Amino acid sequence: MPAPHKPVEIREFAEPDLPTGGALLRTAFSEVCGTDVHLWHGRLSGVPYPIIPGHVTTGTLDKARGPLADVTGAPLREGDRLAFFDVHRTCGRCLACTVHRTPTRCPSRRVYGITDSATEGLFGGWSQKVYLEPGVIVAKLPDAVTFESYIGGGCGLLTSVHIIDRARITMGDTVVVQGAGAVGMSTAALARRAGAGQVIVIGAPADRLALSRDMGADAVIDIEKTTPEERLESVLALTGGIGADVVVEAAGSPRAFEEGVRLARNGGAYVIAGHYTNAGDSTINAHEHINRKHLDIRGCWGSESAHFLRALRLLERYGGEVPWARIGARTYGLRDINDALGAAAELSIPKALVDPWR
């Protein structure tokens, strides 16, 4: 991706010399997610174009210089099926990492495919090989987890593991998820498995709502066929007039925020997790929606390595019953990558996969 609003081009890079502890991944799949569309539209600041997009990626270990191990110290061998945590260089020393315990706000943090420049090397998954620099957190895919289900979950799954942490669901809670994209669907799947008594997904279009049901939603509300008032009435009807215990915003729209504070019950919780770019302002009444409601609103930014590692366990645990692979609706080669971006931008499919060898 040479620059915003320009077509993505295919470029050839020399295979890098690996430093000790470095490795090379042979890509099986990367993905096109909403962030890639934002990158293409130039809506993220500070991006060092040109970049190789593709932050969440999976494949096999091509080669490593020196012994490579996962976080438990288990050795990794060439040919192993791998995933890696796209967020790297989190320093572990700054105030954000230590005193504030918010490593996702570490100023040194860099992300494959987003804040790493192509001028520095193969730091993105829309490439046949990806450079794993020393210190990147790498893990074997559990045997039960296919490449397709890992990448189907993708970055949305990692975000949703973080969301579930922030949501602090009590068994039996009603959870409303605003948004039926990759984040929303994974959140619905996990909320159900975390003990939610009822999971309601608000979104569109119909095929995503159907998939949301298959992921775990008990009820779905089509945002294209309802007014905000009707949706509020539906949620009240499903909760005995009380409202949702937990609402998760995974829609990225200022209107969703305005609506979500109404859907939550008194003393409920609202996790704001969809606003990865600035989509405009919301109008909020502090008295009605926060103060009198005794509401908790919790911003949720990025994910930590703990979320990556736990995502693998959750894929292993629930992969048999949650159809993560179906989120990755269609697979594109590098030659079709601009079509993939177009499809993602139009939201015509939940997620496009990238197979750079196709």
Which residues from 78-137 bind a copy of itself, rule CB under 8 A?
90, 92-102, 104-105, 135, 137
Please state, in angstroms and rounded to a whole number, the distance separating the CA atoms of residues 160 and 150.
Answer: 14
Cis ω before 50 (30° cut-off from 0): yes
Total number of residues binding a copy of itself (CB under 8 A)?
Answer: 76
Q: Binding to a copy of itself by residue 193, rule CB under 8 A?
A: yes
Among residues 18, 204, 242, 345, the one that binds a copy of itself under rule CB under 8 A: 242
Q: Binding to a copy of itself by residue 44, rule CB under 8 A?
A: no
Torsion over CA of 203, 225, 260 and 234, rounded to 10 degrees? -110
Query: Segment contacting a copy of itself (CB under 8 A): 54-62, 186-194, 209-217, 338-346?
Result: 186-194
Q: Give whichever of 266 and 348 is closer to a copy of itself, judged by the CB atom.
A: 266
Query: Segment contacting a copy of itself (CB under 8 A): 18-26, 204-212, 275-283, 334-342?
Result: 275-283
Query: Segment contacting a copy of itself (CB under 8 A): 20-28, 176-184, 295-303, 322-330?
Result: 295-303
We find the least distance from the C-beta atom of residue 64 to a copy of itself, in angstroms, to be 16
We find the least distance from the C-beta atom of residue 336 to a copy of itself, in angstroms, to be 31
Q: Helices (DSSP H) in 70-205: which residue ranges? A: 147-167, 182-193
Q: Binding to a copy of itself by residue 254, rule CB under 8 A?
A: yes
Among residues 197, 205, 228, 323, the one that binds a copy of itself under rule CB under 8 A: 197
Q: Binding to a copy of itself by residue 280, rule CB under 8 A?
A: yes
Burial of 20 (0-12, 13-18, 19+ CB in 10 A): exposed
Among residues 18, 236, 306, 347, the one that binds a copy of itself under rule CB under 8 A: 306
Q: Binding to a copy of itself by residue 41, rule CB under 8 A?
A: no
Please state, in angstroms and rounded to a whole number, the distance separating the CA atoms of residues 90 and 98.
Answer: 11
Please state, in angstroms and rounded to a whole number, the distance separating the CA atoms of residues 347 and 130.
Answer: 27
Torsion over CA of 190, 193, 196 and 198, rounded to 10 degrees? 90
Among residues 46, 281, 320, 346, the one that binds a copy of itself under rule CB under 8 A: 281
Query: Segment contacting a copy of itself (CB under 8 A): 49-57, 220-228, 285-293, 336-344?
Result: 285-293
Among residues 205, 301, 347, 355, the one that binds a copy of itself under rule CB under 8 A: 301
We find the least distance from the C-beta atom of residue 330 to a copy of itself, in angstroms, to be 29
Query: Segment contacting a copy of itself (CB under 8 A): 59-67, 125-133, 264-272, 333-341?
Result: 264-272
* Paired tokens of 103: 């490593």
Helices 182-193 and 305-318: crossing angle in degrees, nearest 10, is 70
Among residues 3, 67, 170, 357, the one that binds a copy of itself under rule CB under 8 A: 170
Closest CA to 124 of 30, 40, 35: 30
Q: Give whichever of 51 and 136 is closer to a copy of itself, judged by the CB atom.
A: 136
Q: Binding to a copy of itself by residue 259, rule CB under 8 A?
A: no
Q: Binding to a copy of itself by residue 299, rule CB under 8 A?
A: yes
> What are the beta bridge partners of residue 353?
31, 331
Among residues 26, 65, 214, 276, the one that binds a copy of itself under rule CB under 8 A: 276
Please state, in angstroms and rounded to a whole number, the distance separating the CA atoms of residues 268 and 246.
Answer: 6
Residue 202 and residue 179 in contact, taking contact as beta carbons nearer than 8 Å? yes
Per DSSP bridges, beta strands 328-332 and 75-76 are unpaired
Residue 270 and residue 298 in contact, taking contact as beta carbons nearer than 8 Å? yes
Among residues 171, 225, 237, 320, the one that binds a copy of itself under rule CB under 8 A: 171
Length of the chain: 358
* Paired tokens of 11: 């470029």
